[in-house]
Structure 1
Amino acid sequence: MASSSSSWSPVCFLSGLLLMASTSMAAAPRKPVNVPFGRNYVPTWAFDHIKYINGGSETQLVLDNYTGTGFQSKGSYLFGHFSMKIKLPPGDTAGVVTAFYLSSTNNEHDEIDFEFLGNRTGEPPILQTNVFTGGKGDREQRIYLWFDPSKAYHSYSVLWNLYQIVFLIDDIPIRVFKNCKDLGVRFPFNQPMKIYSSLWNADDWATRGGLEKTNWANAPFIASYQGFHVDGCQTSVEAKFCATQGKMWWDREEFRDLDAYQWRRLRWVRKKWTIYNYCTDRSRYPVTPPECKRDRDL
């Protein structure tokens, strides 16, 4: 596989690429099903702060003024479709962060982040996404959610292939990070990642830059999980390439870009719900980052 990677020429797919409108990228060929926590995941710390319900089909993470907790996937994956149904802690959650992300394990790591930033009662929750490639992050985008994520389960998903990384909520794309390696932007393609989730106190930065502190009178904070869906190319952390690369459904042409309907949904999120995009932050980036220049909406 190493020789084939050197001959592959990655391309950012531009607005001229149109896919069949009937294609639904989010509706993966293998429909996500509810599987027990223990099939794909193990706790990583503070085991006594994880609760298992209905044989592990539902799992709860608990944060109190002593500790938070988290879990990770048993395997490492190179490309695929990964989703989690999450119900966030309710009420005043300022300072509390619930994270769902993929990450490699070396110093120049790759990472794909969902971070739910708690807020004061009555204020909308904030979802921050980020992408690290080769150890470089600082690609934050923040949106308000159009629903209360503490009242019901919602599906949060990542599609990752050689062409793009797509963040989705209930099958609605909220962010796309294209492979722009030809512009000198590194893209995750050879470092397997594990899947993680955690619930922890981050009141030094999470809410209004750390001005709002966690109110421990509201503890314990509980995040609930279902639908531990993993459909990826499993490999070891030492492997550079997946043995099935190029043969899986997420490599097919219809999953290399959003279709017209998905682009409309993404534009709706950007227009109505986005509150921060690093691509348009001229104070941080006087020169637009290269990958942003190919965004059809900027």
Structure 2
Amino acid sequence: MGILSNNLANKLPVIHVVMVAVVMLSSIVYGAGNFLEVFEPTFGGSRVRVFGPGNTQLALTLDRGSGSGFRSKREYLFGRIDMQIKLVPGNSAGTVTTFYLSSDQSTGRHDEIDFEFLGNVSGQPYTIHTNVFSQGQGNREQQFHLWFDPTLNFHTYTILWNPQLIMFKIDQTPIRVFRNYENEGIPFFPKVQPQRIYASLWNADDWATQGGRVKTDWSKAPFSAYYRNFNIDTSINGAWRTHDLDANGRMRLRWVQKNYMIYNYCTDWNRFSQNLPPECKKYGV
């Protein structure tokens, strides 16, 4: 998973926002998939709990002993993956909930596509951390706050990955698009290594909340996050294969990035004092 250094995390502003609930209609119908058929635990033992009719819901728990996680049994090379998640409520400072894709990390040259949800003290917004790795190289972080409280209800988080782009969506609203500019001499894009779907809940209070200044309050433990209604589309004729932003998608993306983006690696001249990553020029920076 992509982790910002403490120095970088300390640069990120602490922003107080008013949570506004926005109802977005989805064109996707989410089936209640069986977690036991598609996924397997990675750590945490009994802290990974599958329940509900047809094993259609999953809870991850973090306590002083351990966090927990799961992954898909299969690997996927491109596709659209949707997961509905309800994040840790209340004082979630120090906790990190994740939903991401990753190839085999033991090679040292892995690919990865990250959603990470950095908890905060009660009343402060979650930070949504996104990152992209290619051949073991990352440092492509963008971070956002949300226009709703992600702990009150389930919301749909989407990673759409095709040979042309990676799109991060929340309730069908695009928040980030990372494009493949290989044909223009910029080879940074994950496109060869198949990846598994991962999710986890763990303690990262050395960096996760306000640069590590706010620690996990273990008196609030155990902490739990909930997953349901996953959708994995790798079909040959799936719309994901050629999906891109339409006019409405471009408008929504601009709205999110104008109002809720709190960090963009492509504008961090302190971090990249010599040269910004090459794709930043293509993004208009």
Instruction: Return the TM-score normalized by structure 2.
Output: 0.86
- CA shift digits 1:148-169 (9 cap, x unpaired): 1110000000110000000000
> Could you tell me how far 1:27 is from its partner in structure 2?
4.5
Count of aligned pairs between the two proteins: 255
Segments of 5+ residues of structure 1 without an aligned counterpart are: 1-25, 234-243
- The CA distance in 2 between the partners of 1:62 and 1:250, in whole Å, is 32
- The CA distance in 2 between the partners of 1:285 and 1:33, in whole Å, is 44
Q: Which amino acid aligns with 1:277?
A: N
Query: What is aligned with 1:37?
Result: 35
The answer as to 2:261 corresponding to 1:293 is no
> Could you tell me how far 1:116 is from its partner in structure 2?
0.2
Instruction: Work out which of the residue numbers 210, 216, 219 in structure 1 matches 2:218.
Output: 216
- The CA distance in 1 between the partners of 2:141 and 2:77, in whole Å, is 23
Q: Matched residue of 2:77: which SS?
A: strand
- The CA distance in 2 between the partners of 1:183 and 1:95, in whole Å, is 40
- The CA distance in 2 between the partners of 1:249 and 1:153, in whole Å, is 24
Of structures 1 and 2, the larger Rg is shown by: 1
- The CA distance in 2 between the partners of 1:232 and 1:201, in whole Å, is 32
Q: Which amino acid aligns with 1:58?
A: Q
The answer as to 2:186 corresponding to 1:187 is no
Q: Matched residue of 1:250: which SS?
A: helix
Cα distance change on mapping 1:228 and 1:248 into 2, 3 Å: closer
Segments of 5+ residues of structure 2 without an aligned counterpart are: 1-25
Please show how residues 78-227 of structure 1 align to structure 2 within 5 Å. Answer: 78-105=77-104, 106-181=107-182, 182-227=184-229
> Could you tell me how far 1:98 is from its partner in structure 2?
0.1
Percent identity, aligned pairs only, is 49
Instruction: Return the TM-score normalized by structure 1.
Output: 0.82
Instruction: Work out which of the residue numbers 262, 274, 285 in structure 1 matches 2:249.
Output: 262
Structural RMSD (CA): 1.5
> Could you tell me how far 1:278 is from its partner in structure 2?
0.5
- CA shift digits 1:216-239 (9 cap, x unpaired): 000000001111211126xxxxxx
- CA shift digits 1:70-92 (9 cap, x unpaired): 00001000000001100001011
Native 8 Å contact 2:68 2:201 kept in 1 = yes
